[in-house]
Amino acid sequence: MLDAFLQKHDYSSIINEFGQHERTALMLASAWNAHHAVSLLLRRGANVNMKDPDGNTALHLAAENNAKKCLHLLLKANCMLDEQNIWGLTALHIAAAEGSVECTKALLISGARTDITTYENHTTALDEAMKEGQKSIVRLLREWDPSWSNRLRQSSTPTLPTWSIAQVAKFLQKLTLSQYTPAFAHADGLTLMQLTEDDLEHKYGMTRIAHRIRLLEAIAIEQLSIPSSSYIDDECKPLPPSDLDKRPKLPPIAL
């Protein structure tokens, strides 16, 4: 139907027009994961890098809605990978925060930069993933660019405070698990976020299942990506609200 409409009309003059929600047809199709429409629009010459009033491109919208097939099509169309919207968010920031492993991996493979920061809070894609508790994305980004996994320890003013080794020790003490403190001598908050029950049993010697469950449940509750006031160092500042929190969600599909 879309192809027939484009053939009937002079599509070159309308294909990039802004319509519903002040977005182009390509933007809307990308957001709604209508990959057949995205493929057709790209073949007909739709501009892949146009932006909506918030500065989002079709790639941003595909990443936000985990539209994997659309995102792959946009990447093949040589879209601009690192474009930032009005908050400074790239498609990688958004995919990471939303927890889309496939979209995040596709962006990384295509060459998306991991060091770009948002305008107000200066957060990277890794920071956004940590704030949202996206453990798989945190692991992927740290393994992809190891130099950035250490930047919080090296920086005197980290962009995203995380628990120090001392704070982890206090956490274990609070849970009456201080007997395991020597095993966690080199573990920080990021390490705790990635723990599995198998790790606890075999790597950290936590053989009692009740202890493993107690620790894993406490980690989930405490939201280690944002240190609580009970354990945060005096010189560390609380994590500011994410720039993603200010971003309006795409309205529902109008049928």
Residue where a domain stops, chosen among 159, 191, 210? 159
Q: Identify the burial level of 224 via C-beta atoms within 10 angstroms of its C-beta, where 0-12 means exposed, 13-18 middle and 19 or more buried.
A: buried
pLDDT per residue as tens digits for the range 219-243: 776 653 444 434 333 333 334 455 5
Please give the C-alpha separations between residue 131 and each of 184, 194, 228, in angstroms, as whole numbers. 23, 14, 13
Same domain, yes or no: 140 and 60: yes
pLDDT score, position 236: 34
Measured in residues, the chain has a length of: 255
Same domain, yes or no: 125 and 170: no
Same domain, yes or no: 136 and 26: yes
pLDDT score, position 188: 79
Same domain, yes or no: 99 and 200: no
pLDDT score, position 194: 78
pLDDT score, position 195: 82
Calpha distance 153→163 (Å, rounded): 10
Same domain, yes or no: 188 and 147: no
First to last CA, the chain: 15
pLDDT score, position 103: 95
- CATH number, domain of 215, equals 1.10.150.50
Q: Does residue 90 sit within a domain?
A: yes
**Backbone dihedral angles phi then psi of residue 5, each to the nearest 5 degrees:** -65, -45
Q: Does residue 93 sit within a domain?
A: yes
Q: Does residue 228 sit within a domain?
A: no
- Helix, strand, or coil (residue 34): coil
Calpha distance 88→91 (Å, rounded): 10
List the domain range (segments joined by +) for residue 197.
Answer: 165-222
Taking CA 155 as the corner, what is the angle to CA 124 and CA 127, rounded to the nearest 5 degrees?
Answer: 20
Calpha distance 81→58 (Å, rounded): 11
Total number of domains constituting the chain: 2
Point out the residues of the chain with pLDDT beneath 70.
1-13, 145-162, 221-255
Same domain, yes or no: 96 and 11: yes
pLDDT per residue as tens digits for the range 157-183: 333 235 778 888 888 999 999 999 999
